[in-house]
């Protein structure tokens, strides 16, 4: 780099640091209480003891992802055995077993309509499958290819739009019909690992290996807010059920809740006895509980207001890679590297 | 929507993008944390009684209840 170019970079870096300091000060000025202080008069929720009600057996290798259908009955899982399986969680029947072109799958998603599922991974693509094809066969409907890195997560907005996050540090909004990129969301300085769509479908959040979470305006195509504080990669992210807060899970062994309107962290869920990374998370229906999967094969259940652990789901023989609470809040599903999915309530 | 090819961005482009983004974020209107905490508390209190994972569910109302043993008549 030339001396002039170095000078410009130095100037930009100084400007960025200055702006970051301003943001830190602005946030501090609005911090008149913590969530723990505000919830001091509320009792810790009673011990939560969930039981495994169903075990979904059928995958032959590590499960990397699962997603509930909006009907709270069906769910889809993706495994490195090269299959997407759609399960009836109540009967434990396999509704569809879809063979994949690439077995290196890292994510899967169920469309809100129940008509489509999607998956992707080290093939850098997001493949869309139509479950309701005329002849009853499940076929690839579209292959969305443009990312230059692995597909870490995908979530449908509708049958015609899907958002993906990638190891290439970007997220993309796709038009499924034409198979083209509508919007590229760039800004993260590390692999994007996870994304979640707001309950009103206007925003989405992404967690990345730059230790930050970003809130994006889907239609404007812009990043509205950036949340820091984690000391390592953010692997999991979700919206608090009211859509006004975000929960992140990180390799730094903690989960954090950030409020969108205060633009800052309100509480951290961590314990000195937990030293392994968070792989997945899901809030319960009311938001009172946070279920988080960790590298040590367990799921810890946190009281979100008190930041106390109120339960553990122990039942898998390997890392819990994915977790989801059904839309009606009746059950939680965990997926593991032990090749099983379990339904708990 | 302009299509950005992230691989084509130089370090200076990225630094400029970061500064532009920070200038946007610094303008944000922020709420007091006390107001946000109240909203979160209220939301939870309003829904917690219907939250199966918190309150539990009786066997007969549980769609996921474990099947009973087989009876051969």
Burial class (CB within 10 angstroms; exposed 0-12, middle 13-18, buried 19+) of A201: middle
pLDDT the model gives residue A134 = 86
ipTM given for this complex: 0.93
Encode pLDDT of A63-100 as tens digits. 999 999 999 999 999 999 999 999 999 999 999 999 99
pLDDT single digits (tens) B41-50: 999 999 999 9
Share above pLDDT 70 across residues of chain A, in percent, rounded to a whole number: 99
Q: What part of A 86-125 touches B (C-beta under 8 Å)?
A: 89-90
Q: Decide if A291 contacts B15 (C-beta within 8 A).
A: no
- Answer yes or no: do B22 and A266 touch at CB < 8 A: no
**Measured between CB atoms, which of A181, A226, A286 is closest to B44?**
A286
The alpha carbon of residue B38 is apart from the nearest alpha carbon of chain A, in Å, by 7
pLDDT at B70: 53
pLDDT band, residue A1 (cuts 50/70/90): low
- Residue A250 tokens read as 């990180």
How confident is residue A315, by pLDDT bands cut at 50, 70 and 90?
confident
Q: Which of A6, A9, A22, A38 to mutate to test the interface with B (most CBs of B within 10 A)?
A: A38
Reported as a single tens digit per residue, the pLDDT across A17-58 is: 999 999 999 999 999 999 999 999 999 999 999 999 999 999
Is A38 close to B34, i.e. CB distance below 8 A?
A: yes
Residue A289 pLDDT: 98
Q: Whole-angstrom Cα distance, residue A236 to residue A78?
A: 17
A34 to chain B nearest CA, in Å? 7
What gap in Å lies between CA A290 and CA B53, rounded to an integer?
10
Chain A contact set for B42 (CB, 8 A): none
pLDDT tens by residue, A190-243:
999 999 999 999 999 999 999 999 999 999 999 999 999 999 999 999 999 999
* Chain A residues touching residue B44 (CB < 8 angstroms): 286-288, 304-305
How open is the CA angle A218-A113-A142, to the nearest 5 degrees? Answer: 70
Sequence-distant (≥ 6) Cβ neighbours of residue B12 within 8 angstroms: A5, A8, A9, A12
A29 is written with which tokens?
Answer: 């000025």
Confidence of residue B32 (pLDDT cuts 50, 70, 90): very high
**Contact between B53 and A325 using a beta-carbon 8 Å cutoff:** yes
Distance (Å) from the alpha carbon of A138 to chain B's nearest alpha carbon:
27
- Once rounded to an integer, what is the mean pLDDT over residues A302-312? 97
Mutation to test the A interface, candidates B26, B48, B53, most A Cβ within 10 Å: B53
> In the predicted model, is pLDDT for residue A2 greater than 90?
no
What was the pLDDT predicted at B5?
A: 66
> Residues near A303 by Cβ (< 8 Å), separated by ≥ 6?
A44, A45, A288, A289, A309, A310
Q: How far is A134 from chain B (nearest CA, A)?
A: 31
Q: How many residues does chain A have?
A: 345
């Amino acid at each position: 780099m030339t001396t002039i170019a170095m000078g410009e970079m130095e100037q930009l870096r100084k400007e960025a640091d200055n702006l970051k300091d301003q943001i830190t000060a602005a946030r501090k000025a609005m911090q008149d209480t913590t969530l723990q202080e505000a919830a001091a008069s509320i009792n810790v929720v009673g011990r939560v003891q969930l039981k495994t009600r169903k075990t979904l057996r059928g995958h032959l290798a590590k499960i990397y992802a699962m997603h509930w259908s909006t009907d709270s009955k069906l769910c889809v899982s993706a495994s490195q055995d090269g299959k997407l399986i759609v399960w009836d969680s109540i009967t434990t029947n396999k509704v569809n077993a879809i063979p994949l072109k690439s077995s290196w799958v890292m994510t899967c998603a169920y469309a809100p309509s129940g008509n489509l599922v999607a998956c992707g991974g080290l093939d850098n693509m997001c493949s869309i499958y139509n479950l309701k094809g005329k002849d009853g066969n499940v076929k690839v409907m579209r292959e969305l290819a443009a990312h230059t890195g692995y597909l870490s997560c995908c979530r449908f907005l509708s049958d015609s739009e899907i958002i993906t996050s990638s190891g290439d540090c970007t997220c993309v909004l796709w038009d499924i019909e034409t198979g083209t990129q509508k919007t590229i969301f760039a800004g993260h300085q590390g692999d994007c690992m996870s994304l979640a769509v707001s309950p009103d479908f206007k925003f989405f959040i992404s967690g990345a290996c730059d230790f930050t979470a970003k809130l994006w305006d889907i239609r404007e195509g812009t990043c509205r807010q950036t949340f820091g504080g984690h000391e390592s990669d953010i692997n999991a992210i979700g919206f608090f059920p009211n859509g006004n807060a975000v929960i992140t899970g990180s390799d730094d062994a903690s989960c954090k809740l950030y409020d969108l309107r205060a633009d800052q962290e309100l509480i951290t869920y961590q314990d000195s006895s937990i030293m392994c990374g968070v792989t997945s998370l899901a809030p319960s229906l009311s938001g009172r509980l946070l279920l988080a999967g960790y590298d040590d094969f367990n799921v810890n259940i946190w009281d979100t207001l008190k930041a106390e652990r109120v339960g553990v789901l122990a039942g898998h023989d390997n890392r819990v890679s994915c977790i989801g609470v059904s839309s009606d809040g009746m059950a939680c599903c965990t997926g593991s590297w032990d090749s099983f999915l379990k339904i708990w309530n | 929507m302009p299509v950005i090819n992230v691989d084509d961005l130089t370090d200076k482009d990225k630094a400029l993008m970061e500064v532009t983004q920070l200038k946007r974020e610094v303008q944000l209107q922020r709420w007091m944390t006390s107001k946000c905490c109240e909203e979160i508390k209220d939301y939870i209190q309003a829904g917690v009684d219907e939250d199966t994972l918190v309150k539990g569910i009786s066997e007969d109302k549980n769609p996921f209840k474990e099947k009973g043993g087989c009876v051969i008549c």
